[in-house]
């Protein structure tokens, strides 16, 4: 034992450690210089945008970087928050439209995706392999390639306002039922947790939003699904759902089946196994999938630009594009930079809130045993 300890100490003094080879001083300086260069490359555009948003001169062509421009002010932010573009739409209305689109896409992709992924992961049924290949093929297909067929399909769906209100009320009732199906069994068994109440709260908010939309005044007697945020959301879900199914299925495969078998022996029902055992273990994968779906919906542009015609339904990404002109000299660069920062903040906030789960999902996914 003493000889082994002496050998280990000798290797450690020579520069070898259990964690890896110790770098020489010039190698450390080289790697630190490389890291500083990468950090400067990443931070330089952000610093430029922040500096440009504080510049009151509204220069036609930005050619210099000043961390604190002369006469720095928040006038660009005030102008953007009041009315970003020439359209009669405020920043709050644009943000609400983007939030509805991003939140709806993320929520429905998670609700339907985790159910389908659990079925693919745990059950054996005819055509399972072919359906998984079809899901993978859809994820590989570029989103731009589906614009034309989705436009023709959604443009052909025209319903009366009264029928739409009835459909939205039915959807609200289904969402409330889904929330109660999760909360009531957990309350009866005394296993309700913060996640259970969070799911119930999200279901309640979504149902209230559907009820409000159902009773909101319609712009006309005929509702065209293509020219609405609902149509854009359905089109986006068609692309986000296959990715959610594929991503969640791979993570659910790593959850040991023995946990579910033990719960069955203890008398747990299938719903209790899914909601109280599988879903809590899949929180990291749900966080990653939900964040990517939210970010995709928040920054979505192609479908919204092709489908929507009413300025009241425009999103932040569409308004940001409307600020650009035919030439660089016609772009209000200060307001454009301020608007860009405001658009990017919600995605950064959501990432910071889910960072613990995202990092946990990445680390747990690479560990076996």
Per-10-residue mean pLDDT of the chain, 369 residues long, equals 46 46 84 92 86 77 71 85 82 90 88 90 88 86 85 86 83 83 75 68 79 70 83 89 90 89 86 83 86 89 89 90 71 85 89 75 46
DSSP 278: I
Residues 240, 289 share a domain: yes
Alpha-carbon radius of gyration of the chain = 26
Buried-state track 72-110, b at ≥16 Cβ within 10 A, e below 16: eeebbbebbbeebbebebebebbbebbbbbbbbbbbbbb
SS3 224: strand
Supply the pLDDT for residue 33.
93
Residue 352 in domain? no
Which of 146, 98, 57, 91 is closest to 323 using CA atoms?
A: 91
Supply the pLDDT for residue 11.
46
Residues 311, 265 share a domain: yes
Q: Is 329 exposed, middle or buried (0-12, 13-18, 19+ CB in 10 A)?
A: exposed
d(CA 335, CA 76): 5
Residues 277, 134 share a domain: yes
d(CA 159, CA 221): 8
What does the block give as tokens for 195? Answer: 């996640």
d(CA 132, CA 161): 38
C-alpha 76 chain-centroid distance? 28
DSSP strands (E only) in the chain? 158-160, 222-224
**What domain range includes position 318?**
90-157+227-322
What does the block give as tokens for 316? Answer: 């932040």
Residues 298, 218 share a domain: no
Backbone angles phi, psi at 18, to 5 degrees: -65, -30
Supply the pLDDT for residue 76.
85
What does the block give as tokens for 321? Answer: 């594009």
Residues 219, 166 share a domain: yes
Total domains in the fold of the chain: 2
Residues 296, 202 share a domain: no
Alpha helices in 15-86 (DSSP H): 25-53, 75-82
- Kind and range of the H or E run holding 321: helix 316-322
Supply the pLDDT for residue 325.
65
Residue 9 in domain? no
Residue 83 in domain? no
Residue 133 in domain? yes
Residues 247, 314 share a domain: yes
Supply the pLDDT for residue 35.
93
Alpha helices in 54-160 (DSSP H): 75-82, 91-122, 128-140, 147-155
Domain boundary, last residue among 175, 194, 224: 224
d(CA 319, CA 183): 40
SS3 182: helix
Supply the pLDDT for residue 186.
72
Give ∠ CA 214-215-220 in degrees, rounded to 5: 85
What does the block give as tokens for 285? Answer: 């994968």
Residue 186 in domain? yes
What does the block give as tokens for 8? Answer: 């280990």
Supply the pLDDT for residue 1.
44
Which of 308, 301, 319 is closest to 92 using CA atoms?
A: 319
Q: CATH number of the domain at 300, please.
A: 1.10.3720.10
d(CA 62, CA 332): 11
Residues 269, 125 share a domain: yes
Residue 64 in domain? no
Residues 312, 163 share a domain: no
Residues 188, 153 share a domain: no
Residues 316, 191 share a domain: no
Virtual torsion, Cα 260, 265, 266, 267, nearest 10 deg: 90
Which of 155, 144, 84 is closest to 336 using CA atoms?
A: 84
Residue 242 in domain? yes
Residue 7 in domain? no
Backbone angles phi, psi at 190, to 5 degrees: 75, 25
Cβ(200)–Cβ(184) below 8 Å: no
Backbone angles phi, psi at 158, to 5 degrees: -130, 120
Residues 313, 245 share a domain: yes
d(CA 100, CA 110): 15
164 CB neighbour count, 10 Å cutoff: 18
């Amino acid at each position: 034992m003493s000889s082994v300890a002496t050998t280990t100490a000798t290797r450690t003094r020579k520069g070898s450690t259990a964690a890896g080879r110790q770098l020489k001083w010039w190698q450390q300086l080289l790697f630190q210089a490389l890291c500083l260069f990468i950090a400067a490359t990443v931070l330089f555009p952000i610093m430029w945008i922040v500096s440009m948003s504080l510049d009151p001169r509204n220069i036609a062509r930005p050619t210099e970087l000043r961390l604190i421009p002369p006469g720095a002010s928040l006038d660009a932010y005030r102008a953007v928050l009041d009315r970003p573009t020439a359209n009669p739409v405020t920043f709050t209305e644009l943000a609400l439209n983007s939030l509805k689109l991003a939140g709806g896409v993320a929520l429905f992709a998670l609700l339907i995706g985790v159910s389908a992924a659990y079925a693919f992961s745990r059950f054996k049924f005819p055509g399972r392999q072919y359906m998984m290949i079809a899901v993978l093929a859809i994820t590989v297909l570029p989103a731009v390639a589906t614009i034309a067929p989705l436009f023709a399909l959604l443009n052909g769906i025209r319903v009366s306002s009264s029928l739409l209100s009835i459909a939205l009320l039915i959807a609200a009732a289904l969402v409330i039922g889904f929330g109660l199906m999760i909360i009531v069994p957990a309350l009866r068994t005394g296993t309700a947790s913060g996640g259970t109440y969070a799911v119930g709260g999200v279901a309640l908010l979504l149902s209230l939003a559907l009820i409000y939309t159902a009773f909101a005044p319609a712009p006309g007697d005929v509702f065209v699904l293509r020219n609405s945020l609902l149509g854009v959301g359905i089109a986006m879900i068609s692309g986000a759902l296959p990715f959610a199914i594929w991503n969640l299925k791979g993570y659910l495969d790593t959850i040991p089946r023995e946990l579910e078998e033990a719960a069955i022996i203890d008398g747990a029902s299938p719903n209790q196994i899914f909601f109280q055992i599988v879903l809590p273990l899949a929180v990291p994968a749900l966080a990653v999938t939900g964040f990517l779906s939210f970010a995709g919906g928040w920054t979505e542009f192609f479908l919204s630009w092709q489908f929507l015609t009413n300025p009241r339904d425009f999103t932040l990404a569409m308004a940001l594009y409307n600020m650009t002109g035919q030439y660089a000299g016609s772009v209000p660069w200060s307001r454009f930079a301020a608007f860009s920062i405001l658009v990017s903040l919600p995605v950064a906030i959501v990432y910071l809130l889910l960072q613990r789960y995202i990092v946990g999902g990445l680390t747990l996914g690479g560990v076996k045993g």
